[in-house]
């Protein structure tokens, strides 16, 4: 039972960080790529942190449907950002 309480604590912490820190910053990055801007190194590192948090939570989320919506939102947001960022990279001309 202690493992379950620990898992819920870890999951709650991860999901809170996603909702209050990671998702708002990811939305800022999405606005950036939606304007046609390219991702910089800091943006890419931040996106990696979002995915790390999501992956850490995945095994715990399976048994907690109350978190499925947040998890799906993170996955969709990440996909939207990376798809648009790739489009922006392909459309960018090399700088001299």
pLDDT tens for 17-62 read 888 888 899 999 999 999 999 999 999 999 998 888 888 888 888 8
pLDDT band at 66 (very low <50, low <70, confident <90, very high): confident
**pLDDT top residue among 10 and 29:** 29
Mean pLDDT calculated for residue range 3-17: 81
Task: Say which residues have a Cβ less than 8 Å from residue 25's Cβ, sequence separation at least 6.
Answer: 46
Cα separation of 39 and 86, whole Å?
9
Work out the burial of residue 36: count CB atoms within 10 Å of its CB; fewer than 13 is exposed, 13-18 middle, 19 or more buried. exposed
Q: Is 70:18 a contact under the CB 8 Å cutoff?
A: yes
- pLDDT of residue 3 exceeding 70, the answer is no
């Amino acid at each position: 039972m202690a493992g379950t309480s620990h898992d819920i604590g870890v999951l709650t912490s991860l999901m809170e960080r996603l909702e209050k820190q990671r998702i708002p910053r990811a939305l800022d990055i999405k606005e950036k790529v939606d304007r046609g801007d390219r991702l910089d190194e800091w943006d890419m590192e931040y996106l990696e942190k979002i995915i790390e948090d999501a992956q850490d939570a995945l095994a715990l989320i399976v048994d907690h449907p109350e978190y499925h919506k947040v998890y799906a939102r993170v996955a969709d947001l990440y996909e939207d950002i990376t798809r648009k960022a790739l489009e922006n990279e392909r459309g960018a001309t090399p700088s001299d």
